[in-house]
Copies of this chain bind each other. A is one copy, B any other.
Amino acid sequence: MPDAANTVRLNAALANPKEDIASLDALEQHLFAHRYAIDEIISFGPSIDPAKATEERGQAYSILERERQELLCSAETGALLNRLTDNEALLDDTRAAQVRVLQHDRASLVDVPSDEQAEFSRLTVEANDVWRRAKAANDWASFEPYVDRIVMAKRRFAGFKNPSADPYDVWLNEYERGTDCAVYDRFFARVKECVVPLLSDVRASKRKPSHAVVDGAFDEARQWRVADDLLKVEGVDPDALWLGRTEHPFTGGPGVGFVVIASHVYPENLLSNVFSMLHEGGHTLYEQNVNPAYRFTSLKGGTSSGMHEAQSRFFENYVGRSEAFATPLLEILKRHFPGQLGRMTPFQLYMAENCAEPCLIRCDADELTYPLHIMIRYEIEQLLFSGEATAKDIPGLWNERYKSYLGLDVPSDMLGCLQDTHWSDGDFGYFPTYALGSAFGAQLKNAMVDDGVDFDGACASADLTCIREWLRTRIWVWGRAKDAGELMEAACGEPFSASYYTDYLTLKFSSIYGL
């Protein structure tokens, strides 16, 4: 006699698969349109929207998010996805992957009340606007209550999603499936074990690479032309890109054919522009090179925050800060600043890019100290979620840690805990993926070299085709159809391991500093 579960299976088998597939396609169309609109709204919000757009943008965003949630979480959609899951054998690979991703997306939203979700969307739009003004005015106090409200909401939402798990673990897993505090604690312990003694040796070393060769004031208009040239070398498709301006650089992807990069240039910091652009260009390559067949489906876009960051930091660091790439990079820089840079050598540029010198701004950090910036944010987020700290404690916690880990005095919150946009957007649990992505990149680089890619040759010639092709076929085309873990294992022939990252850092900085 069939039990209840078997009855459900029986009903599922009786459904009309053709009709269900048509319903799946229709569902994906609606979800696509909402995602496109939301991505466009949030990409342009902090880059081109005028100041007074905030309230209407927040309202539109929250209603569209709510419609998306209602569509995905309706009982009808749930039943449809369950029938399709039960009949997976009847689906082609793409649709089977769509169903898996939709089930995952639905599960992460279905228990969150849509009123609260909509309220939260509105809150983050407002908080982002307040943060932008707070940063400009060095005014933590005005932003502080928003951080508390956002953390409180994120804790509540975590409870809806998974009442038995630690709230911060829920969000770590949300941004990077399979991770939690235990995973990151182990990962950061490995990183710390490597970076802290290495940084101490670096500081004690008598060899002191200098960035004096890139000091000076560099015309902004010409810096934007440098940005165009870098994106070209990187292989970004200019016909599928809009490049705009904002305080905190980011990449958004309304479509495979429509990626938004918003960035900034500072006259006194030429390399900040160079590495921001290579970084955002890496995100862009991922978005632009997803299988075109996924364009109108939930498989569009990157599979996880860590994997996205692996691509951006791959082009920023493994390519951009390599000795081989210094030659073509210098050519580009000299093209636009012949007077100021005419006498520089590629080796001088390489050294200037890789001074391991603690600095206040995460985005401007060298490769070695970068993960320490992330650890500081990770530790503060843990304290906020455990209730051991609230927003008013953040400046103190921040400044203390910058002193103890990086040896720096933080002169103002503008250069301290107000520097990043993430918390205003509600992205708690996101920062750790930045360090993880860097570590993915080291392993990916190792694997592509093992596969015969002439990495240094490609960098030296500024023809990055073979590097792009390796990443495109193994990572980018898959969109969200495979998890980061699956992709890493398939691309590298083994699961993720942090040792490639720590080996890379040790080797690179030992050589630069003659350790």
Contacts and interface: CB of A to CB of B under 8 A. Distances in A.
Given A48-B242, A52-B239, A55-B295, 15 more contacts: A32-B60, A33-B60, A33-B64, A37-B40, A37-B41, A40-B40, A50-B238, A50-B240, A50-B257, A52-B237, A53-B240, A53-B254, A53-B258, A56-B256, A59-B296
A49 interface: yes
Given A33-B63, A33-B67, A63-B30, A56 B238 contact: no
A5 interface: no
A60 B242 CA distance: 18
A296 B59 CA distance: 9
A382 to B, nearest CB: 36
B257 A56 contact: yes
B49 A258 contact: yes
B50 A40 contact: no
B256 A50 contact: no
Contacts of A57: 36, 255, 258
Interface in A284-300: 295-296
Nearest to A240: B52
A1 interface: no
Contacts of A465: none
Contacts of A56: 36, 254-258, 295-296
A384 interface: no
A76 B112 CA distance: 27
A44 interface: yes
Nearest to A33: B63
A51 interface: yes
Nearest to A55: B257
A191 interface: no
A327 interface: no
Given A37-B37, A296-B59, A255 B32 contact: no
A55 B240 CA distance: 11
A29 interface: yes
Interface in A238-296: 238-242, 244, 254-258, 295-296
A502 B81 CA distance: 66
Contacts of A32: 59-60, 63
A63 B258 contact: no
A54 interface: yes
A44 B252 CA distance: 15
Contact of A242 (B29, B49, B240): B49
Nearest to A31: B63
A37 B32 CA distance: 13
The winner among A63, A242, A295 for most chain B CB atoms within 10 A is A63
Contact of A241 (B33, B50, B55, B63): B50
A57 B52 CA distance: 25
A56 B40 CA distance: 12
A57 B37 CA distance: 9
B40 A59 contact: no
Contact of A257 (B29, B30, B53, B241): B53
A238 B32 CA distance: 33
A51 B240 CA distance: 6
A187 B296 CA distance: 48
Contacts of A244: 48
A260 to B, nearest CB: 9
20 contacts: A30-B63, A30-B67, A32-B60, A32-B63, A33-B60, A36-B59, A37-B40, A49-B242, A49-B258, A50-B239, A51-B240, A52-B237, A52-B239, A53-B257, A53-B258, A55-B295, A56-B256, A56-B257, A56-B258, A57-B258
A257 B54 contact: yes
Interface in A16-65: 29-30, 32-33, 36-37, 40-41, 44, 48-57, 59-60, 63-64
